[in-house]
Amino acid sequence: MSNLLSLISGPLDKNACSYFLILTIFFFVLLVIAFLSNIFVLIKNRKTLSFSNIIGGLYMIFTIFIAYFVNRLMYTVCVKSFQT
């Protein structure tokens, strides 16, 4: 029973940090795509854009940036915790 419990909730190895690295890369790519698409929409529809559309685009970029930053921070914490 003790072995099963340590297997389920025991500490992970350094390879588990790659999860945060993959998420960091994913959110960075998503951030670049969101930024470029918002620039494209601003250029293409500059005459018909409303203030709420601009705020929505900025909110989307901000939200994706927060997700990117949190995963980057978690990756750094994970890697630094294995350094001795």
Asked whether residue 9 is domain-assigned, the answer is no
CB 17 within 8 A of CB 76: no
11-23 per-position pLDDT tens digit: 778 888 999 999 9
The Cα–Cα gap between 83 and 14 comes to 10
Number of structural domains (the chain) is: 1
| 31-83 confidence digits (pLDDT tens) | 999 999 999 999 998 888 889 989 999 999 999 999 999 999 999 999 999 88
- Answer yes or no: is 42 within a domain: yes
Has residue 3 been placed in a domain? no
35: in domain: yes
| Whole-prediction pTM | 0.82
Q: Considering the domain boundaries, does residue 4 fall inside one?
A: no
The residues, ordered by sequence, that sit 6+ positions from 31 with a Cβ below 8 Å of its Cβ are 61, 64, 65, 68
Q: Is residue 54 situated within a structural domain? A: yes
42: containing domain: 22-82
**Who contacts 28 (Cβ-Cβ below 8 Å, separation ≥6)?**
68
